Amino acid sequence: MLYPDEVHDGRAGTDEGFGYRIVYVEPSHLAEALRVLRGRPCPLPFVGEPVSTNARLSQAVEAAFRAPLESLAADSLIVDLAEGLMDGEQGGGRPTVSRVDVPVIERARQFLDAERTRVVHSTELESITGLTRYDLARQFRIMFGTSPYRYLLMRRLDFARERIHQERPLVEVACDAGFADQAHFTRAFKSAFGLTPARYRALRARDALRL
């Protein structure tokens, strides 16, 4: 964990060398997420050791390499990283704000349901809720147990399964469900359900023949 402008030598600790991946996070994004989590402006958490063994922080960093490049996914990722930094800092800081505006978050959920066949951007949810993207991500997770991005993705996949049940071509299903292409759809479907759309359709057809 290295902070902006912190000096480091970048050398390996052993002769075997090392490999690494890097997540660069704009400090202003983290600062805003921390303001939401703590209910007030505050300094960035200080993780004293550059090599941290904190599980929550590790999970947040690992998730950053798997997150898609969509604004809703990035919002939740920033909140997770902020919470991980708080968990790993000296003294073990914790979020202090837990209030949830239920009607507002329900409005966001209904909007995601209505727009389930396309990519929804953070600015749209900010506009209809009056919340910042990080406060929305925090409250949505408390209320529904998942992120706005993940919720929307699962609604899109539910829609896609409905189309598969109607025996629509998979390339058409991918387009109708708002995925960039069939490959993108296949990756998302397999990640969520453990099998490809083609395999899912074949299994349904086989089960139908047995009836």
The string of DSSP letters for 151-206 reads HHHHHHHHHHHHHHHTT--HHHHHHHTT-SSHHHHHHHHHHHHSS-HHHHHHHHHH
Could you tell me the domains of the chain?
1-97 (no CATH), 152-210 (1.10.10.60)
Structure confidence at residue 149 (pLDDT): 93
Q: Inform me whether the pLDDT recorded for 83 exceeds 70.
A: yes
pLDDT average, residue stretch 57-75: 84
Q: Inform me whether the pLDDT recorded for 181 exceeds 80.
A: yes
Structure confidence at residue 151 (pLDDT): 95
Pairwise CA distance, residues 9 & 14, whole Å:
14
Structure confidence at residue 105 (pLDDT): 95
Report whether 155 contacts 120 (CB < 8 A). Answer: no
Structure confidence at residue 112 (pLDDT): 96
Q: Inform me whether the pLDDT recorded for 13 exceeds 90.
A: no
pTM given for the model: 0.81
pLDDT average, residue stretch 42-66: 82
Query: What's the pLDDT tens digit per position in 104-121?
Result: 999 999 999 999 998 899
Helix (H, G, I), strand (E, B) or coil at 36: helix
Higher pLDDT, 2 or 204: 204
pLDDT average, residue stretch 125-152: 94
Structure confidence at residue 92 (pLDDT): 59
Q: Inform me whether the pLDDT recorded for 136 exceeds 90.
A: yes
Structure confidence at residue 93 (pLDDT): 58
Highest average pLDDT, of 14-18, 46-50, 182-186, comes from 182-186
